[in-house]
Amino acid sequence: MTAAFTQTGGVRISLFNATWPLATIEATEAVLCLRCFWKCWSFPKHQIIRLSQHRRFSIGLRIQHSIPNYSRFVVFWTFDFAKLRRALEERGYTVYDAAA
């Protein structure tokens, strides 16, 4: 079992946006958790459809999922995407270069 990985960054969920260092992502082999202020969004691995690189002004991780009551558009912004990608892949996730 691999230890949890945590990284600080920003988040964009639908129209809600919080810049660095107001959000964190925590990854385990079973779930990704995004935290920002008082809110936590949990993405169990079996409900993640696709993880991909998302480029705008910065590089982020786009999380496409099948959770009905969550926004369809979820991005975690990071200054070290390569480190996040390695950590996710070590925990059994696949991260694609660009969203389809």
Query: Please, what sign has the CA dihedral across residues 72, 78, 82, 88?
Result: negative
The phi and psi torsions of 4 (rounded to 5 degrees) equal: -65, 145
Beta strands in 1-100 (DSSP E): 5-13, 16-27, 31-36, 39-44, 48-55, 59-65, 74-78, 95-96
Domains of the chain: 5-96 (2.30.29.30)
pTM exceeds 0.85, yes or no: yes
Q: What is the pLDDT of residues 11-35, one digit of tens each?
A: 999 998 999 999 999 999 999 999 9
The phi and psi torsions of 52 (rounded to 5 degrees) equal: -150, 160
Residue 58 pLDDT? 81
Q: What is the pLDDT of residues 39-95, one digit of tens each?
A: 999 999 999 999 999 987 789 999 999 999 999 999 999 999 999 999 999 999 999
Helices (H), the chain: 81-90
Residue 30 pLDDT? 97
